[in-house]
Structure 1
């Protein structure tokens, strides 16, 4: 990787961190305003949105810290660096959302049984302010990157805030124009269900990576077939593909060569195939010269070509 690539990646990471920090500051200010407005007006929708924004402010702070520490270099204890922090942050963010949804639903059920008076004018003003701020924060965070779980988690929280603000505005209008006090808890539950769906998707994806699951769209059998196309390779087995973090795919495999095959040529070809066809940026290839009879047979492979390792990263 060339120096300009390093510079570009550093600038991109710094920009992402700056956006997350701005989002955290704006969300923190707005949650204080919404909490005060919800308390004064008696609106559960506003209080729920403020509670959601409190969790989100903390989540955005975690996302900022995750992005910052993910740039730290590898060390003796963490040979792959800190990149997986983004997955841990995404997983934690999703869990926070489940706790929040449970609290909102319990409070809403209580409101259905015991409706309370609401100052719809105050509720409407605060809800509109929250809606505008959430739109701005979503713009600050930028577009969607499917492979960046850290940013995806942050956008999920802000999108949930945006939906909460829309629900609060709608509930305030219905209460003001129709006197429907039930609209406040009803919209709180509706927004909670929308948040729950997105949180579940993020939780599943983060957990899949943490459990070393095969990346979406990758079939290990197809990886083995493709790698076998390398010159002099007669068999490929023990294939494992996983993700270090969103978008960073890694693999290990055993490749058995014909007696006359050149190990270095085969190694380079396998690594090239994995990068170009499956976007696997880091591959460890075990070169063997005879049949693999059991799991540990790689230890007994030819001494001259016992283990080959590619540490180059493709971008």
Structure 2
């Protein structure tokens, strides 16, 4: 299952990032970075599948760090576009976000039954949930930009995505750290 969602997320990243550059959209670029992060997360999840609880928790710590890194990258892009300006193209944004939403709903559906297995699969599911939220948000932002002409909404939504990444990163780190840290001075021997 993880191989399938990994491949889908790589395809989403390539298509959505390219569309985001073309459309001059921080919201699309931020959303695409989340798909890249997910592909990295799924690859890491495949590496630790079947390993010890500590190894899976360590992978989740890396995933949380990736989410925090993307939060910083998206906020930097928002600041850059606040200074340099941007003119997002709503039609391109809508097409890219719509296709990404279909792909991400598929990933979320494939992963939902595994979300309670362990911290590793929980963090994978959270990343997929964030993708669906991001796609819906980009679509709503696109409609509002097309209707109102308020191009700054693209930056506002990009900043909102950064906050979501930040929150998810903190949640994953907070859950994974207690499972990762050594207990009573020794490494955990749990399977």
TM-score with structure 2 length normalisation? 0.90
- The alignment covers a number of residue pairs equal to 190
Alignment partners' CA distance in 2, 1:132 and 1:29: 13
Structure 2 counterpart of 1:22: 4
Structure 2 counterpart of 1:252: none
Alignment partners' CA distance in 1, 2:102 and 2:35: 14
Structure 1 counterpart of 2:48: 66
Contact 1:115/1:181 (8 A) holds in 2? no
Contact 2:6/2:42 (8 A) holds in 1? yes
| 1:144 to partner: Cα distance | 5.5
| 1:189 to partner: Cα distance | 1.0
Distance 1:50 1:89, change over 3 A: same
Alignment partners' CA distance in 2, 1:141 and 1:179: 37
For residues 34-87 of structure 1, the C-alpha deviation after alignment (integer angstroms, 9 at most, x for no partner) is 0111111111111111112112111111111211x52xxxxxxxxxxx443211
Alignment partners' CA distance in 2, 1:243 and 1:109: 43
TM-score with structure 1 length normalisation? 0.56
Contact 1:164/1:188 (8 A) holds in 2? no
Q: Secondary structure at the match of 1:84?
A: helix
Distance 1:146 1:171, change over 3 A: same
Structure 2 counterpart of 1:265: none
Alignment of structure 1 residues 109-148 onto 2, 5 Å:
109-143=79-113, 145-146=115-116, 148=118
Greater C-alpha Rg: 1
Distance 1:212 1:193, change over 3 A: same
1:152 aligns with 2:122: yes
2:132 to 156, 162, 181: 162
- The runs of 5 or more residues in structure 1 that have no matched partner are 1-18, 71-81, 215-239, 249-315
- The runs of 5 or more residues in structure 2 that have no matched partner are none
For residues 206-233 of structure 1, the C-alpha deviation after alignment (integer angstroms, 9 at most, x for no partner) is 111121359xxxxxxxxxxxxxxxxxxx
2:181 to 208, 211, 218: 211
Structure 2 counterpart of 1:183: 153
For residues 76-133 of structure 1, the C-alpha deviation after alignment (integer angstroms, 9 at most, x for no partner) is xxxxxx4432111111000011111011011112223333112110111101111111
| 1:163 to partner: Cα distance | 1.9
Distance 1:150 1:24, change over 3 A: same
Alignment partners' CA distance in 1, 2:138 and 2:41: 22
Structure with more helix by fraction:
2
Alignment partners' CA distance in 2, 1:189 and 1:133: 23
Alignment partners' CA distance in 2, 1:145 and 1:131: 20
